Structure 1
């Protein structure tokens, strides 16, 4: 009796499946899906990483810092003729690296600049760590 019920149910299901037609998608189904994905991507701009200090600003800070270091190493007196002679000297004959840096002294402004730069880098790292921890983002 149970086999009969199973057989009847099986036949019914076979007929029902044959009678059903397959769903047909529109011609521009893929374009619609991609459009919706793009819309979703535009609405979720908050998920994209945007640094506090952009790459261009970091580049400018680096250039200013390197310029300050070069200025301080060369004696801090740009208008002197010694500075201009140092730029125009023949590198092979007149440049002695050991002699040039034998009496090297770090200027106090250079130390302040390095400390301030390190402080702001550390501040950005701490801020970004907290920012991503609040949003449960793994870096």
Structure 2
């Protein structure tokens, strides 16, 4: 019974296929297709490479770096070698005061040195610069 149904279905499908004529594309099919392809290529925007950090920001960073190096060079820091810098750093780390917390009054005492303050100021300024750059990029 299944075979007869399948044979009948095949017969109906083959008759339907013979009745329908093969459609050929229009005479200007190729030209129409090519013009549509060219139109979509023209309408697509090309992606232009934009660096993450612009030249002005690199110039600003280089200027800050040169100014810091100049400040350290001309200030009265008596380090002549790398080992002198390391020795002074280790001595400074050993003399750091741990912050004291007084629970009833909630007072905090921090002993800050000038390099700590300079580092904190530089970190905050770079964070502010980054926020401005990201806001301009994504707005």
TM category (shorter chain) comes to 0.3 to 0.5
User: Greater CA radius of gyration, 1 or 2?
Assistant: 2
Please report the TM-score for the alignment, with normalisation by the length of structure 2. 0.46
Structure with the higher helix share, 1 or 2: 1
Q: RCO (CA 8 Å, sep 6+): is it higher in 1 or 2?
A: 1
Whichever structure has more strand as a proportion of its residues is 2
